[in-house]
Amino acid sequence: MPPRPLKVCRHAGCHALTRDPSGYCRAHKEAAEARARKWKAEREKERESSSRRGYGARWRKLRAEVLREEPLCRACRKAGRIVPATDVDHIIARADGGTDERSNLQPLCHACHSRKTVRENGGRAVTR
């Protein structure tokens, strides 16, 4: 496999060339990673706990029941594929007035759930 093409470092004002997938040269890569870690830690602090968002013991029990009753991804099954479900999705999001009623829940594999989440959030995935 040929080496990656050289690109200019992403750090403002740096003209060094790099093949690193991060886009930063050796001199700036560590600082960029530290900024990313700090940003992620700050976002995590701002976010409420899963229990406070309504995903406590009651949700975990309901989620387990849904996956036990319907162990295959509903979206993959419709497409003729057999894939185990790993996530339980709200068909109508709770933020949009959906409930935890069984009729509003569907089992999905992680890939299908991620695609649905991105589609519903205007092309942006929700960070955890």
**Distance from C-alpha of 107 to C-alpha of 72, rounded to nearest angstrom:** 7
Beta bridge partners of 84: 72
Q: Which residue has the tokens 């829940």?
A: 105
Domain borders along the chain are 7-46, 58-120
Stated pTM of the model: 0.58
For residue 88, what pLDDT is reported? Answer: 97
Angle formed at CA 112 by CA 65 and CA 51, multiple of 5 degrees: 50
What average pLDDT values come out for the chain (128 residues) when binned by 10 residues? 92 96 96 93 76 80 97 98 97 91 97 93 60
**Distance from C-alpha of 64 to C-alpha of 86, rounded to nearest angstrom:** 10
Give the alpha-carbon dihedral of 88, 44, 114, 29, to 10 degrees: -150
